[in-house]
Amino acid sequence: MFGKHGMNSQFAVLGSAKDYMLASSAVFRRQQFLIRSLGGYTDQSQQKIMQQTKALGGTALEADAEHILRAITPPLDRSKHKGQAGMVAVIGGCREYTGAPYFAAISALKIGADLSHVFCTKDAAPVIKSYSPELIVHPVLEESYSVRDEDKQSISMKVFAEVVKWMERFDCLVVGPGLGRDPFLLVCVSEIMKHARKCNVPIVVDGQSMWFGLSADSTSGLFQDGLFLVTNNLDLVSGYSLAVLTPNVNEYKRLVEKVLNCEVKEQDAYEQLLSLAKGIGGVTILRKGKSDLISDGETVKSVSIYGSPRRCGGQGDILSGRQVSIYDFLLKHVAVFVSWARERLSAAEGDSSISKINPTILGSIAGSALLRKAASLAFQNKKRSTLTGDIIEHLGRSLEDICPAS
């Protein structure tokens, strides 16, 4: 069953325009300068998009997430071979950040994917391998500090070739966890994303927004990974219906400023999300918050299952005065559900009631709901000491409660 929520209901109040003005005027000026320099959408184009989606706005339907999870989760079948339940690749992980790609890759395995690959830098590979022998780790990415200018083109081609030779095996690509902002690394990843589009491989793009105790007028400590790359180069995903963006509050704010050339308007949250997804050519956006909102530019779904009040150090969103919940890093397992939904729909299997729904919408709903349920279970057991690993350990039980293995 679906339940409607009015525009003025108390769902998912993620922050207001006033919250975003907590940053200093210096930061605000720099952000506006960056947006203008990158060429944001004009007011006229924004109004056109808003007019096109106005009829669709006003309400968001609470998704029947458990029904969707049961419909798209493939049954365990003794006749299937390794790889048929999903092969996921994570593009991310540099010398500073090794935890995020590990969380993304291991959570995919925990919910039932058969194989999980991580393509990372050589410095990150030994650390990620030490976390778990279950992951297939490829130390192929390079950062600027280790590459001479005269070798950049040849090394870039080598990196591209190493990833591309695996591409046809992957059911979904996760871009961003622990990627950092190294220029050479981002150029390489851009080419990988372009090739994934040509191969019709679904792409889930995430970020890792963090402030390391810096003052509000400092921007040197902000890292955004995959969403930083996409926000500055929308052509990488624009018009690609198999792309999913999973921004948190701060990342969503930057996307709205870039695409719609305005501030986030909570009173028009549904319409604005519709406009944003439509403005990026129909990509699916999973806006993380108290309630997750999901849109592909045609519809808006809400997932409001209670998760966990626990907040984890390093994931605070200081600029907006809000914090991202502890399960923020884990939504990359959306990739598995997107691949499952796509496979089930293309094979004309499962429940006909979901047959006309975009598989990226289905995957996002399933991923959001499962994560929230796992976070709730972990918090019941661990309370204030709940960590990301505790939530990962509850993913399997959460899925089993909804969709028991035969």
pLDDT one digit per residue (tens) for the chain, 406 residues: 333 333 333 333 333 333 333 334 444 444 454 444 444 444 455 455 444 444 444 456 899 999 999 999 998 888 887 888 899 999 999 998 998 899 989 999 999 999 999 999 999 999 999 999 999 999 999 999 999 999 999 999 999 999 999 999 999 999 998 898 899 999 999 999 999 999 999 999 986 543 333 333 333 333 446 888 999 999 999 999 999 999 888 889 999 999 999 999 999 999 999 999 999 999 999 998 888 999 999 999 999 988 888 765 323 222 222 333 444 555 667 999 999 999 888 775 556 778 889 999 999 999 999 998 998 999 999 998 988 888 889 999 999 999 998 6
**349 annotated to a ligand binding site:** no
The answer to whether residue 134 is domain-embedded is yes
**376 annotated to a ligand binding site:** no
**262 annotated to a ligand binding site:** no
The answer to whether residue 2 is domain-embedded is no
Q: What residues are paired with 115 via a beta bridge?
A: 87
**114 annotated to a ligand binding site:** no
The answer to whether residue 5 is domain-embedded is no
Domain residues for 320?
A: 14-402
Q: How many CA atoms lie within 13 Å of 41's alpha carbon, on the beta-carbon side? A: 25
Nearest to 247 by CA among 264, 262, 235: 264
Looking at the structure of the chain, the number of domains it has is 1
Contact 88, 171 (CB under 8 A): yes
The answer to whether residue 3 is domain-embedded is no
**178 annotated to a ligand binding site:** yes
Contact 119, 89 (CB under 8 A): yes
Q: Which of 209-228 are b and which e, b meaning 16 or more Cβ less than 10 Å from the residue's Cβ?
A: bbbeeeeeeeeeebbbbbbb
The answer to whether residue 118 is domain-embedded is yes
The answer to whether residue 4 is domain-embedded is no
**129 annotated to a ligand binding site:** no
DSSP 279-306: HTTS-EEEE-SSSEEEE-SS-EEEE---
* CATH number of the domain to which 52 belongs: 3.40.1190.20
**250 annotated to a ligand binding site:** yes
The answer to whether residue 234 is domain-embedded is yes
**381 annotated to a ligand binding site:** no
Global pTM value: 0.80
Tokens read off for 376: 């709730």
**327 annotated to a ligand binding site:** no
Using left for φ > 0, alpha for ψ between -120 and 50, and beta otherwise, residue 392 falls in: alpha
**363 annotated to a ligand binding site:** no
**18 annotated to a ligand binding site:** no
Helix or strand run (H / E) with residue 34:
helix 25-38
The answer to whether residue 140 is domain-embedded is yes
